[in-house]
Structure 1
Amino acid sequence: MRWAPVLALTAAYPLIIYFSLGRVEPRYLALLLLVLAALRWMAGGAQLVQARWLALAAVLLAGSTALLNASLPLKLYPVLVNAVLLAVFGLSLVRGPSVAERIARLQEPDLDARGQAYTRRVTQVWCAFFALNGSIALATALWASEEAWALYNGLIAYLLIGSLMGAEWLVRRTLRARNERAQA
């Protein structure tokens, strides 16, 4: 899978930055953002436009880091990722079909109106999540210690993503069972 290296590096990014700050000058850590940008550019695939915008924004953060030799632009990368995901999910609500509907149709091509409404709501929930998560990521980058930034962006945010995915799976399973009982 060509996204595997991008996802792995993005997931590990906050911890890599945390353990490197104070040991490596920020301008050299900017290379990590450049690697992420290059990987995103090459792995663009179906979401080529979004991947390239994210890659270009990462290059700007890397350039700012190198120019200023400051860690703040490095710590803004999780904010950038959340902003792009919010934009992708939000635009899918406007242009349709929603991101969740596209994913659902991979398993259920003939998604009924009820399923479309549900997937639209799921996409809205993810939009709210990305807005909140990005805001917290920004707050930790601007005002929290490096330890708190790394803890939130390198662990807590992933636990929240997993929790939201698990909760949605349980809700979907419950609703599907309820619908099957009503149709029987």
Structure 2
Amino acid sequence: MRVATALAWLATLLYPLAIWLGLARFEPRWLGVFLLLVASLRALASREPVWWLAACGALALVIATFVLNDGLPLKLYPVLVNVAMLLVFAASLWKPPTVIERLARLRHPDLPPEGVRWVANVTRAWCVFFVANGGIALWTALAASDATWALYNGAIAYVLIGAMLAGEWLLRPRHAG
């Protein structure tokens, strides 16, 4: 399963670059196969049922790509990923432990109550991030050039995710024990 997880993350990371380069060389309908592969790998590598739902959403995007032979459905996949992540993080707020609490407990098994409150707030911050990031991904898909879409979804969004992760990791010892 580790190989499938690694392949899923690699394919997800490379997806915007592959689509940007591919749209310049191939008909969009043939790039739909890559999207189906990425979404299938992600679903197979995860324990979260939401990724199977995302794979179904990706299948709908692939069908639209085949029927319309248009690149827009392919560019909507990052929006779908942000929605899936939002669902995972938001669901964990209603049914704890939150995603961030599970990660925090790997390093701090005896997380105090104030730490649990703090990681719940961090989980809320991630939810806001996924809404904003998904909104920008949607805007780049609908209104920006393919190059801008690829730059945001294939680089800038990853830098922002890294900044969120680093900030949480640096601040956690102060707030979570």
Match in the other structure for 2:74: 74
Check conservation: 1:14, 1:154, Cα contact below 8 A: yes
1:36 touches 1:58 (CA, 8 Å); kept in 2?
A: no
Contact 1:65/1:74, CA 8 A, preserved across alignment: yes
User: Which structure 1 segments of 5+ residues have no match?
Assistant: 180-184
Aligned-residue offset at 1:128: 0.5
Distance 1:30 1:126 in 2: 29
Q: TM-score when scaled to structure 1?
A: 0.90
Aligned residue in 2 for 1:141: 141
Amino acid at match of 2:149: W
Distance 2:135 2:43 in 1: 25
What is the RMSD of the two structures over their aligned residues, measured on CA atoms?
Answer: 1.3
Higher-Rg structure is 1
Distance 1:97 1:161 in 2: 21
CA distance in 2, matches of 1:121, 1:21: 40
Q: Is the 8 A contact 2:115 2:175 kept in 1?
A: no
Extract structure 1 runs of 4+ deviating beyond 2 A.
Answer: 106-110, 173-176
Query: In the alignment, is the contact (CA less than 8 A) between 1:26 and 1:70 conserved in 2?
Result: yes
Residue 74 of structure 1, CA deviation: 0.3
Partner of 2:12: 10
User: Of 35, 38, 41, which aligns to 2:40?
Assistant: 38
Task: Specify the SS of the correspondent of 1:3.
Answer: helix
Counterpart for residue 167 of structure 1: 167
Deviating more after overlay: 101-110 vs 74-83 = 101-110
For these two proteins, the number of residue pairs brought into alignment is: 175
Instruction: Tell me, yes or no, if the aligned pair for 2:86 and 2:131 is still in contact at 8 Å.
Output: yes
Cα deviations across residues 73-95 of structure 1 (Å, max 9, x unaligned)?
00000000000100110111112
Where relative contact order (Cα < 8 A, 6+ residues apart) is larger, the structure is 2
What pairs with 1:23-172 in structure 2 (closer than 5 Å)? Answer: 23-44=25-46, 46-47=47-48, 49-172=49-172
Q: Secondary structure at the match of 1:97?
A: coil
Amino acid aligned to 1:40: R
